[in-house]
Amino acid sequence: MTNSFDDIPFFGDEDEPAARKPQAPGERPQAAAGGLGIAARAMAARGGQREAPDYLSGLNPEQREAVEKTDGPVLVLAGAGTGKTRVLTTRIAHILATGKAFPSQILAVTFTNKAAREMKERIGMLVGGAVEGMPWLGTFHSIGVKLLRRHAELAGLRSNFTILDTDDVVRLIKQLIQAEGLDDKRWPAKQFAGMIDTWKNKGLLPADIPEGDARAFANGKGRELYAAYQARLRTLNACDFGDLLLHPIAIFRKTPDLLKEYHQRFRYILVDEYQDTNTAQYMWLRLLAQRPQGVPQNVCCVGDDDQSIYGWRGAEVDNILRFEKDFHGAKVIKLERNYRSTEHILGTAGHLIAHNEGRLGKTLFTDRVNPDDEKVMVHAAWDSEEEARAIGEEIERLQRGDGIPGSEGKKHALNDMAILVRASFQMREFEDRFVTLGLNYRVIGGPRFYERLEIRDAMAYFRLVCQPADDLAFERIINTPKRGLGDTTIRYLHDYARARDIPMLQAAADIVETDELKPKPRKALFDVVQSFRNWSQRLESTPHLDLAEQILEESGYTDMWKADKSAEAPGRLENLKELIRSMEAFESMRGFLEHVSLVMDAEQNENLDAVSIMTLHSAKGLEFDTVFLPGWEEGLFPHQRALDEGGRSGLEEERRLAYVGITRAKRRCHIWFVSNRRIHGLWQSTMPSRFLDELPQAHVDVAASETNYGGYGGRGGYGQSRFDKADPFANSYSTPGWKRAQANKTDATRDNWGSRSGHSIERIGYGESGPRGRTIDGELVAKSVADVPSQFSVGDRVFHIKFGNGNISAIEGNKLTIDFDRAGQKRVLEGFVERA
DNA sequence: AGTTTAGTGATTTTT
DNA sequence: TCACTAAACT
């Protein structure tokens, strides 16, 4: 490989000075050593070969191999709690310390900003902070932006393009749907935004989407609408999140020379959470990582197939399973030594996840065994209210320090406890309970700061000041606060701007010079235009914090909330102050906007001691001493919809979710299920989750019933099983999958369920001989979308449990369009019908 | 134009 | 049930 960075002008801005020109492989960057805190030590160590540099000590042999095998493709399968982040950061430190690359020659990709931040901090600690940042460490999206800003013109954009968030996208699509003369009620913009997102996750441009998909929306105009959307983005000089990946991919494909330059630049590539990559990210990565034959591909992907829980939003576990094929001669390193959890927790999680097929197969172990370690506990409660009450009590007990074996009297901080739920509606009951108990709690992953109305309004003002062509921002705030610029005026402006292909703010500036508008709106519009002119001028001269404040004051936006008498108004004003405070960390308003468009989360208050409540999904990557896992009931967990829509692979993803949940626990894990839960307002009796049957007896205890209730299908007269009802089908709330399961139930499964319902709670959780066979009704419901040819053909007469008899009029994958005799035309999943 | 009412739909979520 | 959205009032 040759080093030709000096010849590439646009790299100049961040490259090391010429004197520190990177070395060819094998050579050492002598000059660079001075800039790297640990480099000298590392090089000294290399001289004496035997003694390892400090940062390598304390790694186990597998971790150490993952760190030291820097050249060639490496796949690190890092189980939960096996020191994954440590390996990644140490590996980067090692590459730097041994002088194999400069910080600017390492591409390190994460999924979330949080992970990126954490990695930066930890590398800083290892390397002694001497390496100021790594320019190419970030999320897929933030690196995508960086690439795209440099080469925007190759994607038909200007480099100051704006990044639209979901809200903007939906509004834009709505406009397009209306412009097409379509009914925006029949074709919801939100749904189409979701479809576009799905396509972009798969790397599909309008020309690439499957015909069926294209026809399924907007009277068959799906493809045209998608294309119109892309065209509109271009004229707006804007990107959505998907474009941040797709544009670079397109650029690299059509400009091989440019790609080559990046190949030379990125000597080492690292990817975190590889199991979560979607097809677009995978394409992006392959472009950057795959090298011509004979050139080493120094790519290291770290992930855990057992923690892949984002399949529903396009993640492809296949990417990790396929790594060895994609990168020839790949070294696969498994990290299985767990530093987080007790053997009971690991044993439980391991036994559960072993029920999945199609995994690479790891078994976590620990040798830190303590006789005081508590087994995983399974508890039953009558209903969700009791579940919340009992968990609340347990939390208070732990907080007081009662009855914690091995740590008598020691208090358990609330910060080290978490309740992990499958669906966010479950949180409410806990919140209600904790409010009455006066127990501090913190909900993680709720509505986010930057998604709040007032924040988005304020941001729209800032956006328009920095980017006068931002029509979406213009439309958002032109009449907020009320200025008497109603629909008619805005529509007129819109049409005027579109006709001349100019931004709306420009259109407004033109129009106020004419007498097209009535005096009132004209005056109002004139004032707004003047204000924006003013603010834009101050952009360079006024400190951005002051300017932000002035904008919100002068526009009347803060006054609007001050005048508002509603309960939330003071909070909103507070949020606006917080917004301005948070701008302090940035150099300019533009810098701030860039950050916010990519970082939608805001920091949480860490000082408060509080129990965390969050979904299982947002718990990935976290750990707690004590974890509560409520709601392990069929239909909720595994979720019925995952079963209906994902079939067996859906079930397996749910099981991985359960695995993620259990492995968050360091010392204590309490699983709960209830016999009755309110779903959509109606009480439903529920069955214990099949996952409970998949837990190993050796590591699990079932709690004795804490009340007279509890337990499932008891003979004591409580907890009626559905089978006791005169007609289990009568309940209109039972789901299609459930009905189907009922309809197709074989004798074997009937026995299975029958026996379960007869067991007392002490038995729940165990079959007669450990874990039972895999799926029960997972197989009875819809088959996976994946390439299963339909067993039906057009014209077939079929029966649907809800809609009755009908004829198939079209088939797309596993979706059938059926003309029902009574119910009319419906699209249903193949799994829900049978031959009539 | 702002408020009231009817309708709807209801996992998981980052960027 | 309940929360959010769109249209129908006043």
- The distance (Å) linking the CA of A479 with the C1' of C9 is 23
Annotated binding-site members of A for ATP: 78-85
Q: What pLDDT score was predicted for residue A403?
A: 64
Say which DSSP state A337 is in.
Answer: B
- Scanning every strand, the nucleotide with its C1' closest to A681's CA turns out to be C1
Q: What pLDDT score was predicted for residue A25?
A: 40
Q: Are A555 and A531 in contact (CB under 8 A)?
A: yes
- The distance (Å) linking the CA of A680 with the C1' of B9 is 10
Instruction: Find and give the residue nearest to C6, measured CA to C1'.
Output: A185
SS3 of residue A328 by DSSP:
coil
Q: What pLDDT score was predicted for residue A491?
A: 80
Is A273 among the catalytic positions? Answer: yes
Residue A678 main-chain phi, psi, to 5 deg = -90, 120
Q: Where are the beta strands (DSSP E) in A142-213?
A: 162-163
Q: Left, alpha or beta for A727 (phi > 0: left; psi -120 to 50: alpha)? A: beta
Instruction: Find and give the residue nearest to B9, measured CA to C1'.
Output: A680
- Scanning every strand, the nucleotide with its C1' closest to A185's CA turns out to be C6
- The distance (Å) linking the CA of A566 with the C1' of B5 is 21
Q: Are A107 and A288 in contact (CB under 8 A)?
A: yes
**Per-residue model confidence as pLDDT tens digits over A663-715:** 999 999 999 999 999 988 888 889 999 999 999 999 999 987 655 333 333 32
Annotated binding-site members of A: 78-85
Q: What gap in Å lies between CA A722 and CA A756, rounded to an integer? A: 13
Residue of A15, A70, A84, A686 marked active site: A84
- The distance (Å) linking the CA of A825 with the C1' of C9 is 35
Strand C, nucleotides < 7 Å from a protein CB: these are 1-2, 6-7
Q: Are A421 and A574 in contact (CB under 8 A)?
A: no
Q: What gap in Å lies between CA A434 and CA A439, rounded to an integer? A: 5
Give residues 654-683 of chain A lying near strand C (Cβ < 7 A).
Answer: 678, 680-681
Residue of A422, A664, A677, A740 marked active site: A664
Query: Please, what's the b/e burial string for A413-429 (b: 16 or more CB within 10 A of its CB; e: otherwise)?
Result: ebbbbbbbbbeeebbeb
**Cβ A519 to strand C below 7 Å:** no
Is A422 among the catalytic positions? Answer: no
Say which DSSP state A407 is in.
Answer: S
Copy the structure tokens of residue A579. 């917004």
Give the pairing type, strands A299-303 and A74-78.
parallel
Angle at A627 between CA A621 and CA A629, to 5 degrees: 100
Within chain A, which residues score under 70 in pLDDT?
Answer: 1-52, 129-132, 403-409, 600-605, 705-790, 800-804, 811-817, 820, 822-833
- The distance (Å) linking the CA of A163 with the C1' of C8 is 37
* CA A244 vs CA A142, A147, A515, A548: distances in Å: 8, 9, 42, 27
